[in-house]
Amino acid sequence: MINDMIFGCSNDNSDTGFENSQISRILGLSRRLDGLTSQLAKRGIIQNRFSYYLVPFHDELERPSIPRFRDNIPRPVENLRSTPFVNIDRNLYYVELKDGLGGSLIDSGTLVSRIDENTKSFEVFYYNKVGFRDFATMTLHFKGGDYLVDGKYMHYFSDEKKGEGYFCVALSKSSKTILGAWQQQNM
């Protein structure tokens, strides 16, 4: 039991950009004092060390996404690359992009990644023929290593018919660059 701790969940989310704003299972891992990781670190439970893996959303019933803390984090694989956090805001996870124009926030609570304000957010849809899988990828060039976002995690698909329907590029407009949960799947 942990005394004097704030923890909660939501069943009424707004401004998500998706039909009926239906999103569930958001765990607040911010660096703010009321964030779960900050509260656990303050009590000496995790030493500000955590890891998470977002299973592909279509696999959610087969296996859960499990956050790991402290000694429960598996040892890194041999060729692991990393990028340091930049402390521009002590509450956020911010990393440097190698374009020289700034960086990106990493936020699993933001559903789709946000980029330039001129982005056409979910405005252009394409017909998805049965069997088509040649979707465009995106590479983020972080300091210390590149992150390739698989094409299937760069698009949002309609559920009209199994195997065919419509899809759009899953990016949203913003003045800040944010790597959202949709593009963090299976990473």
Give the right CATH number for 19-184 from 2.40.30.20, 3.30.1300.30, 2.40.10.10, 2.40.70.10.
Answer: 2.40.70.10
What share of the chain in percent tops pLDDT 70? 78
Diameter over CA atoms, the chain: 55
Confidence grade of residue 149 (pLDDT, cut at 50, 70, 90): very high
What is the pLDDT at residue 181? 87
Q: What is the pLDDT of residues 35-45, one digit of tens each?
A: 888 888 888 88
What are the sequence ranges of the domains in the chain? 19-184
Whole-prediction pTM? 0.77
Tell me the average pLDDT across 8-12.
Answer: 62
CA distance 93 to 104: 8
> Which residue has 């760069």 as its token pair?
154
Residue 7: how many other CB atoms lie within 10 Å? 10
Alpha-carbon distance of 58 to 152, in angstroms, equals: 11
pLDDT value at 26 more than 70: no
Mean pLDDT of 70-87: 80
Give residue 139's pLDDT band: very low, low, confident or very high (50, 70, 90): very high
Helix (H) or strand (E) holding 146: strand 145-149
* pLDDT beyond 80 at 179: yes
- Top-confidence residue, 164 or 174: 174
Average pLDDT of every residue of the chain: 78
Tens of pLDDT along 96-125? 888 667 788 898 888 888 887 877 777 777
